[in-house]
Amino acid sequence: MNPDEDHHPVDREYPDTIMRVLDANANRAAEGLRTLEETARFVLNAHALTSRLKTLRHDLATAIQLLPRMQLLRARDTAGDVGTNATTQSEHQRSNVRHIVSAGTGRTQQALRCLEEYGKIVDAEMAKRVEQIRYRCYDVFAELEQVCVLGGDRLSRLQRARVYALIDGGEDETAMVQRIGLLADAGVDIIQLRDRSLDDRTLFERAVAGTAVTGRLGVLWIINDRADIAAASNADGVHVGQEELPVGQVRRIVGSQSIVGLSTHDIHQVREAFASTADYIGCGPVFPGITKQFERFPGCDFLCEVSREISSRADHSETRPAFAIGGIGASNIDQVVRAGFGRVAMSGAIAGADSAEVAREVRTKLETVPIDNPADMVIA
């Protein structure tokens, strides 16, 4: 705030000691929130958490404006602060992102409590607002720490993923598990269970079996359409279409640690998806295929538009991994690659006896397209 705009009704001067506590902790809390926000944004790609942390940071700045800023600045005395040299060894060591997050959340919470307590002497309204911010922080911080462990791992695997296979539930559970093993061996990164012919109980049981085997094999496991079954089976995520439950509602069911994918068929839907909390998008249908019939094919023109949209955004945290889908296989992968896509989802092409060779061949071609991979830092 401009010092001239300091409109706090200063009817008294507060002791410098109090002002120093408030000044130091206002800075500490704001810096802590910014560190956590950057982690959610750039390291974890956690869109919903990033925006909640940003709102908290802004609300804190608004609350701090209730303090007499000139008095705060006059009281600032970094050189005379006996605490600046009193550092501990652990303050200078951060071994991984989890460590940064737990240090940041602890520090921010402590700073908010100090602000609140000392703020009560100066401005009761400010103290009340900080108290509310502190309560909101408890929830957001708990989620952030959890996302760091499970969600962060899922998101970094998603960022690296290139080949995504859609499968049905198979003849029986054993057949499905075998197929998953084969696809994983062939280097498939993500497998989606897409089967509308199964009753809910059987679909759930297949989902549970898939969660267990993909967990062992290091493959992401996504359930098509059904957020409830994805949550109940502890799958890595869910994929929904434009006519299904909105992404925000899906999130309420599966939580922030799960992957949510969204189908897109035109560039407006892609932009909407980038503004939502979806973690990746499916783009298509590109070509006619055997799995699903369509009247319209946005085709490779659409893929080119999506590639341009992604590369036009300087800030890659504003985009999401995009998988081309629809009739894609070894015979047309070159066209997809030429459209700038380094990731595909396939069903029909990986359903036959040659599925492993197809998956390998497709992968080799896709690897010629660089994909943005910001999540290559050690999160564990």
Ligand X SMILES: Cc1ncsc1CCOP(=O)(O)O
Ligand Y SMILES: Cc1ncc(COP(=O)(O)OP(=O)(O)O)c(N)n1
Binding residues for ligand X, per CB under 6 A? 166, 284-285, 289-292, 325-328, 346-349
Binding partner at 164 among ligand Y, Mg ion, ligand X, none, C-beta below 5 to 8 Å by kind:
ligand Y
Q: Which is nearer to ligand X, 133 or 333 (CB)?
A: 333
Q: Which residues are annotated as a binding site?
A: 224-225, 244, 263, 292, 327
What is the rounded CA–CA span in Å between residue 221 and residue 42?
Answer: 24
Q: Which does 260 bind (CB under 5 to 8 A by kind): Mg ion, ligand Y, ligand X, none?
A: none
CB neighbour burial string for 247-266, b if at least 16 within 10 angstroms, e if fewer: beebbebbebbbbbbbbbbe
Residue 365: other Cβ atoms inside 10 A = 16
Smallest separation (angstroms) from ligand Y to the CB of 138: 35
Long-range pairs of 234-240 with CB within 8 A, sequence gap ≥ 24: 234/208, 235/193, 235/207, 235/210, 235/211, 236/154, 236/211, 237/154, 237/261, 237/279, 239/192, 239/194, 239/263, 239/282
CB 324 within 8 A of CB 310: no
d(CA 364, CA 50): 34
Q: Are strands 344-346 and 322-325 parallel, antiparallel or unpaired?
A: parallel
Closest to ligand Y by CB, 130 vs 231, is 231
* Binding partner at 291 among ligand X, Mg ion, ligand Y, none, C-beta below 5 to 8 Å by kind: ligand X
**Contact partner at residue 328 from ligand Y, ligand X, Mg ion, none, CB < 5 to 8 Å by partner kind:** ligand X
We find the least distance from the C-beta atom of residue 288 to ligand X, in angstroms, to be 8
CA triple 47-223-200, angle to 5 deg: 135
Q: Between 126 and 223, name the residue whose CB sits nearer to ligand Y.
A: 223
Nearer to ligand X, 44 or 262 (CB): 262
| Least distance to Mg ion, CB of residue 194, Å | 8
Nearer to ligand Y, 46 or 165 (CB): 165
Strand partners, 281: 262, 322
Which residues are known binding-site members for Mg(2+)? 225, 244
User: Which of ligand X, ligand Y, Mg ion, none lies near 32, with the C-beta cut-off 5 to 8 A by kind?
Assistant: none
Separation of alpha carbons 220 and 178, rounded Å:
16
Write the interaction track for Mg ion spanning residues 234-273; mark x where CB under 5 A is met and - where it is not: -------x--------------------------------
Q: Could you tell me how many residues make up the chain?
A: 380
Is residue 225 a contact point for Mg ion (CB under 5 A)?
yes
Q: Which entry of Mg ion, ligand X, ligand Y, none binds 326, CB below 5 to 8 A by partner kind?
A: ligand X
Nearest distance in Å: CB 345, ligand Y: 4
Axis crossing angle, helix 299-312 with helix 267-275, rounded to the nearest 10:
40
Nearest to 104 by CA among 66, 148, 63: 148
The site partner of 323 among ligand X, ligand Y, Mg ion, none (C-beta below 5 to 8 Å per kind) is ligand Y
Does 116 interact with Mg ion (rule: CB under 5 A)? no
Question: Is the distance from CB of 227 to CB of 204 less than 8 angstroms?
Answer: no
Task: Phi first, then psi: give them for residue 260, nearest 5 degrees.
Answer: -125, 125
Q: Which CB, 181 or 241, lies closer to ligand Y?
A: 241
Q: Which residues bind ligand Y (CB under 6 A)?
A: 164, 166, 192, 194, 224-225, 239-241, 244, 261, 263, 282, 292, 323, 325, 345
**Which of 329, 281, 278, 272 lies closest to 303, judged by CA?**
281
Residues forming the site for Mg ion (CB under 5 A): 225, 241
